[in-house]
Structure 1
Amino acid sequence: MNTIVLTGGGTAGHVTPHIALIPSLKENGWDIRYIGSFQGIEKELITKEGIPYYGIASGKLRRYLSVQNLKDPFKVIKGFFDAYKILKKLKPKVVFSKGGYVTVPVVLAANTLRIPVVLHESDITPGLANKIAMKGAKIICVNFEETLRYVGDKGILTGSPIRKALFEGCAEKGNQLCSFKAQRPVLLMMGGSLGSVKINNTLRKALPVLTKTFNVIHICGKGNVDDSLRELEGYKQFEYVGKELPDLFAMTDLMLSRAGANALSEIVALNIPSLLVPLSQAASRGDQLLNANAMKSKGYCEILIEEELNEETLIERLNLLHKNKLKYKNAMQQATQIKAIDKIINILNKYR
């Protein structure tokens, strides 16, 4: 039995590349299993795909002081023994890890059992989980060419897997879903699976002006729908979008987005001009700023740093982006299109 264990979690960005790979893994005869946390977003997303799911204890890897830092090492240790038992039973040929704190005990258990591990790093600089896991990995797949200098001889530029369904959307279905009455350019805002309070609030303040020019689709994150705006013409909000996302992408002219690596890969592949508002260094390890700057240096997007984000700057930058949208589309169309799924599948198939 050619069993492969996938692992990754904490955010949707650590799961969606797995989902993109699953159809090709099945076509190549892999028996797919998934190890994640008991209650993380990965459990909901993966069980929808019909993949057997195994939960383990997990402790968050924090870069700041917290009382939880005293408890979480014990959770990681328990997670290691949980993962060890699962892997020993499943006997996979290989573990493919996408990152996130839940992956650390899985990768360490795989190393102990001498199961090959292949990592994938989406950001320019490796996250803490992948930094810990790198020493025991056979291969480190990376999304950005700039990342190769951080991962040594194990690094291979593959790009990030993108779901084929994203290229198969229908703009007419998207319009039916949103029920926009006027024909205007469509602005799509995505702030990540949990949403972004600051971008959500700023966008809503700007709606009286923006909806004169754009139809606005707002994916605002779980629990962030504003009921007072449900009937506003030219504005449609969603907590989270699943199978409908390709249809929304198909009708989108511009995007307002955070700068998570997987979202950026999708934006470039779909040639959508974007205004990026990366998480500030104060609120993250700075990976989104690096991601966004790499995109801007290639001419793919514009950046509005969070400290400068307000109603006026948002309107100004979006109007400028719209005015020059062909410039960004042309730059992205000329980009080298890496067939990430094929490259990663070829790597994993070596361990069958």
Structure 2
Amino acid sequence: MKSILFTGGGSAGHVTVNLALIPKFIEDGWKVDYIGSVDGIERRLIEPLEGVTYHPIATGKLRRYFDWRNAKDPFKVVKGVMQAYRLIRRLKPNVVFSKGGFVSVPVVLGARMNKTPILIHESDLTPGLANRIAMPFATGICTTFPETSQYIKAGSTEVRHVGAVIREEIRQGDAQRGRAFCDLNASKPVLLIMGGSLGARAINSAVRAALPELTRRFYIVHLCGKGGIDPSIENSSYRQYEYVQEQLPDVLAMTDIVITRAGSNSIYEFLSLQLPMLLIPLSKRQSRGDQLLNAASFKEAGYAQVLEEEQLSAETLVAEVTKLYDERHTYRYTMRRHAQQDALSSVYGWIGGIAKP
């Protein structure tokens, strides 16, 4: 039996691609293990999966700013490398697939020490810090955006633009089931707001300030993140949830337009569903600027409108949402012309090709 080891975490975006790939390997009879952090989101998403064994290791966050924890986190990374090395030596996977995030660095180093083939996936237009550290040790690197290769110093490592790996279940939603779940009829279009796995305070605040105006025209389904629900709001056209998992494909199937951050996994899934988007990317004050680049790429391609967080208010939000909905058919036409790549099959085939016999 062939064996594969997945890693990646720290955010839902560093797990989504793994969630798309894992069922295919289980279906084809591979033994599947996953190395992640002790208490990260990846553990909550992966550990309940049948057919996957989760192994937690010590992790240290890779920060670009001054923080007193920077002094002790290198020791956590070293501990994580040794834990990963011993796990990989015991598990003997044929291949390691890394999605990135700070937990992946010790795993990639441990795999290299065990001479195990490593395939890394980069979702964003420019590689994140963890992947930049790990890439020199990789057998191959997959990219989602075609522009990404110019930011990678690959050396002898092969780099392939495979496109976006989309979860198959995301396309299997049913609008009627979505309306039943949210208790909504079909009398108004649906505006979906997704601020990421932890929500987004600025987006949540602007949406709620704009509710009286927005709900005149739309039903609003608001995924506001852990602890983000406001129980004081009473509006018959407004539904709020911390997050939605099993019912998400159905909610997406009934959605007409979406407000979201600009994480690459999410926006490519919306592109595959031809959902017009208003992107509110994380600013450089909050991130390394990758979402700004993702958003600019989608805007230039004609897939989305962009509203920077510095300009976000109830008034600008209403104006941009109105414009997006009025021009939705143009966006959908442009999205239909997007050449869909079967990235999942491409990555699956590449993994099988580099796996040790």
In structure 2, what residue type is equivalent to 1:100? G
Rounded to whole Å, the distance in 1 between the matches of 2:211 and 2:248 is: 22
Match of 1:21 in 2: 21
Pair 1:228 & 2:232 matched: yes
What is the DSSP-based 3-state SS (H/G/I as helix, E as strand, rest coil) of the residue aligned with 2:191? strand
What is the DSSP-based 3-state SS (H/G/I as helix, E as strand, rest coil) of the residue aligned with 2:232? helix
Rounded to whole Å, the distance in 2 between the matches of 1:232 and 1:177 is: 17
What is the DSSP-based 3-state SS (H/G/I as helix, E as strand, rest coil) of the residue aligned with 2:192? strand
Rounded to whole Å, the distance in 2 between the matches of 1:19 and 1:28 is: 15
What is the DSSP-based 3-state SS (H/G/I as helix, E as strand, rest coil) of the residue aligned with 1:341? helix
Selected match of 2:287 from 279, 284, 287: 284
Rounded to whole Å, the distance in 2 between the matches of 1:37 and 1:178 is: 34
Rounded to whole Å, the distance in 2 between the matches of 1:7 and 1:209 is: 44
In structure 1, what residue type is equivalent to 2:225? G
Selected match of 1:259 from 259, 262, 268: 262
Q: Any unmatched runs of 5+ in structure 2?
A: none
Rounded to whole Å, the distance in 2 between the matches of 1:332 and 1:308 is: 26
Aligned residues: CA RMSD:
1.0
Rounded to whole Å, the distance in 1 between the matches of 2:296 and 2:29 is: 39
Asked whether the equivalents of residues 38 and 57 of structure 2 are also in contact (C-alpha less than 8 Å), the reply is: yes
Match of 1:8 in 2: 8
Asked whether the equivalents of residues 180 and 233 of structure 1 are also in contact (C-alpha less than 8 Å), the reply is: no
Report Cα offsets for 1:94-127 as digits up to 9, x if no partner: 1000000000000001111111110000000000
Alignment of 1:46-125 (within 5 A): 46-50=46-50, 51-125=52-126
Selected match of 2:219 from 205, 211, 215: 215
By how many angstroms is 1:160 displaced? 2.5
**Which aligned runs of 4 or more in structure 1 are off by greater than 4 angstroms?**
none
Match of 1:36 in 2: 36
Rounded to whole Å, the distance in 2 between the matches of 1:303 and 1:4 is: 39
Selected match of 2:319 from 316, 320, 332: 316
By how many angstroms is 1:181 displaced? 4.8
Match of 2:240 in 1: 237
Rounded to whole Å, the distance in 2 between the matches of 1:180 and 1:209 is: 18
Asked whether the equivalents of residues 181 and 234 of structure 1 are also in contact (C-alpha less than 8 Å), the reply is: no
Alignment of 1:169-248 (within 5 A): 169-181=173-185, 183-229=187-233, 231-248=234-251
Rounded to whole Å, the distance in 2 between the matches of 1:303 and 1:266 is: 17
What is the DSSP-based 3-state SS (H/G/I as helix, E as strand, rest coil) of the residue aligned with 2:56? strand
Report Cα offsets for 1:228-287 as digits up to 9, x if no partner: 12x411110110110100000000000000000101110110100000000001110000
What is the DSSP-based 3-state SS (H/G/I as helix, E as strand, rest coil) of the residue aligned with 2:210? helix
Rounded to whole Å, the distance in 2 between the matches of 1:317 and 1:210 is: 11
Q: Which moved more, 1:155-164 or 1:29-38?
A: 155-164
Asked whether the equivalents of residues 187 and 256 of structure 1 are also in contact (C-alpha less than 8 Å), the reply is: yes
Rounded to whole Å, the distance in 2 between the matches of 1:66 and 1:174 is: 44
Rounded to whole Å, the distance in 2 between the matches of 1:136 and 1:169 is: 39
By how many angstroms is 1:169 displaced? 0.6
What is the TM-score of this pair, normalised by structure 2? 0.97
Q: Which moved more, 1:340-349 or 1:22-31?
A: 22-31
Rounded to whole Å, the distance in 1 between the matches of 2:132 and 2:244 is: 31
Among the aligned pairs, what percent are the same residue? 48
In structure 2, what residue type is equivalent to 1:73? P
Rounded to whole Å, the distance in 1 between the matches of 2:19 and 2:104 is: 16
Asked whether the equivalents of residues 295 and 306 of structure 2 are also in contact (C-alpha less than 8 Å), the reply is: yes
Report Cα offsets for 1:10-32 as digits up to 9, x if no partner: 00111111111112112333211
Rounded to whole Å, the distance in 1 between the matches of 2:119 and 2:134 is: 10
Match of 1:325 in 2: 328
In structure 2, what residue type is equivalent to 1:82? Q
Report Cα offsets for 1:210-237 as digits up to 9, x if no partner: 00000000000011100012x4111101
In structure 2, what residue type is equivalent to 1:283? Q
